[in-house]
């Protein structure tokens, strides 16, 4: 059973190297890759991972219930997302192809704890920003070829 999870994980991780598409329907803000952005993303990922570690199932249920029914949001994550949005970068207006260079799975980039969208480091491979490298939330990335 555990081996099948490992195989599935390896298939998903190798599929990440395949081309992806960004900004098919909506404008997407891409934060330029820099030492400061990487430091901020990895620090936030580490903080989020440590906060998640050791929570009991009752604590998880409480967090999800308050997010879904009471509309509470984690204030520190809101600050992180504002910082990423205001960081130097560029806006993709038209659909562009890209490839994923790195995924930071511990750094969730949505306001709800139950969604596992990670931060992706991408390189644009088509369009006016071809060759540029930056960071986007995984929910803005569409995998074109999922299976090898």
The pLDDT assigned to 2 comes to 55
Q: Report, as an integer, the average pLDDT of 79-99.
A: 93
User: What kind and span of H or E run contains 33?
Assistant: none
CA angle, residues 56, 58, 62, in degrees to nearest 5 = 120
Cα 142 from Cα 44, distance rounded (Å):
24
| pTM score, whole prediction | 0.77
Cα 138 from Cα 98, distance rounded (Å):
13
The pLDDT assigned to 148 comes to 54
Cα 78 from Cα 95, distance rounded (Å):
27
Query: In the predicted model, is pLDDT for residue 8 greater than 70?
Result: no
């Amino acid at each position: 059973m555990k081996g099948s999870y490992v195989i599935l994980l390896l298939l998903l991780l190798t599929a990440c190297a395949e081309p992806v598409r960004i900004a098919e329907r909506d404008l997407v803000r891409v934060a330029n890759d820099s030492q400061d952005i990487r430091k901020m993303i990895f620090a936030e990922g580490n903080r989020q991972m440590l906060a998640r570690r050791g929570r009991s199932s009752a604590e998880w249920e409480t967090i999800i219930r308050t997010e879904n029914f009471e509309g509470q949001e984690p204030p520190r994550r809101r600050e992180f997302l504002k910082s990423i949005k205001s960081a130097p970068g560029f806006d993709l207006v038209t659909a562009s192809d890209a490839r994923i260079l790195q995924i930071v799975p511990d750094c969730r980039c949505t306001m709800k704890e139950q969604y596992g969208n990670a931060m992706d480091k991408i390189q644009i491979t088509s369009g006016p920003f071809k060759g540029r490298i930056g960071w986007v939330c995984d929910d803005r990335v569409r995998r074109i070829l999922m299976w090898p």
